[in-house]
Structure 1
Amino acid sequence: MARPPDPRLLEYLAPYDPLIAGVALALREVVLEEAPEAIESLVNGYAVAIGFSFTGKPMKDGFCHVVTYKNCVNLGFNRGALLADAEGILEGSGKMIRHLRINNHDDLYRPVVRRFLRAAIEQVGGPSQRVSVKGGKPATRRISSPR
């Protein structure tokens, strides 16, 4: 396990189908394996989202986000439209954000998951962009409270 999930994240995921919640937690671990220094920012609204950055500013400096919906989990890339994707694997038509839809645990093992994650981390300059965190440990922030 990369690091234990924040208890609030477990609370936010409790109402979801255990399979979907498990996929979300496993995807979180994949992200943290690739970016152990990442700071997580939690949002609980119409979906549960985890934004990942090295600065604690997921909107400005984030490289990816995990969003849990009723029937799937998306791995979103904040600057996904700028990622090399000759095969057209990434979904989305917005100006910048693209995502991979993760339907089950098997999808986590697709090589493109880590390939896109590594490329997104490179886009933001990697952990060198990290701000000083108390005690030198990565943090989890809540930027939105449950409704």
Structure 2
Amino acid sequence: MDPEAQLDGFLAKFLPEVAALARSLLAAMTARIPGAHILVYDNYNALAIGFSPSEKAGQAVLSLAVFPRWVTLCFLHGAGLPDPHGLLKGEGSRVRHVRLEIREKLDDPRIQALIDAALDRAAPPFDPAVPARLLVKSISAKQRPRRPA
């Protein structure tokens, strides 16, 4: 199956407003990060859409995590990012996140500065000359409901 069609199927499991938000954020992030490999994981807890300079998940820098009621922008190496405004949430050793309730929140200059900092630290760096590529990396057989109870 075509990866775009698979992703559409994954998103169709969510409430229409959550799916629309996820699609809008995905389009914005794809435009924002030319050369990104877009890695899709339909996991147990959430639909994860990662942005990596290669096909390797370990090199992913950012991801969108789609949950039943919201979408979260994850900074996969966010623990070391400068966050003067205290926007990043999470207490793990690596990952930090920001909940995006509306598409316009992604345009907040403070969030854009966090994205810039994360992209500046990408190793290897993203190559804008590489065409974006969507890859479905895994689909969990067992998943939590994609719509609120």
- Give TM-score, length-normalised by structure 2: 0.83
Distance (Å, rounded) in 2 between the aligned partners of 1:113 and 1:8: 29
The partner residue of 1:39 within 37, 40, 45 is 37
Give the number of aligned pairs.
137
Q: How does 1:60-71 map to 2 (within 5 A)?
A: 60-71=58-69
Is the 1:34–1:114 Cα contact (8 Å) retained in structure 2? no
Q: Report Cα offsets for 1:46-77 as digits up to 9, x if no partner.
A: 3111011011112x111100000011100001
Q: How does 1:68-83 map to 2 (within 5 A)?
A: 68-83=66-81
Query: 1:26 — aligned with what?
Result: 24
Query: 2:53 — aligned with what?
Result: 54
The structure that is helix-richer by fraction is 1
**Structure 2 unaligned spans of 5+:** 142-149
Q: Following TM superposition, by how much is the alpha carbon of 1:146 offset from its aligned partner in structure 2, in angstroms?
A: 4.6
Q: How does 1:83-94 map to 2 (within 5 A)?
A: 83-94=81-92
SS at match of 2:29: helix
> Identity of paired residues, percent?
26
Q: Following TM superposition, by how much is the alpha carbon of 1:32 offset from its aligned partner in structure 2, in angstroms?
A: 1.3
Q: Following TM superposition, by how much is the alpha carbon of 1:112 offset from its aligned partner in structure 2, in angstroms?
A: 2.4
Give the residue type in structure 2 aligned to 1:123.
Answer: R
Q: Report Cα offsets for 1:55-113 as digits up to 9, x if no partner.
A: 1112x111100000011100001110111102211111100100110112332332223
Q: Following TM superposition, by how much is the alpha carbon of 1:138 offset from its aligned partner in structure 2, in angstroms?
A: 2.6
SS at match of 2:39: strand
Distance (Å, rounded) in 1 between the aligned partners of 2:104 and 2:112: 13
Give the residue type in structure 2 aligned to 1:52.
Answer: F
Q: Aligned Cα RMSD in Å?
A: 2.0
SS at match of 1:144: strand
Q: Report Cα offsets for 1:21-67 as digits up to 9, x if no partner.
A: 11111111221122121001111123111011011112x11110000
- Give TM-score, length-normalised by structure 1: 0.84
**Structure 1 unaligned spans of 5+:** none
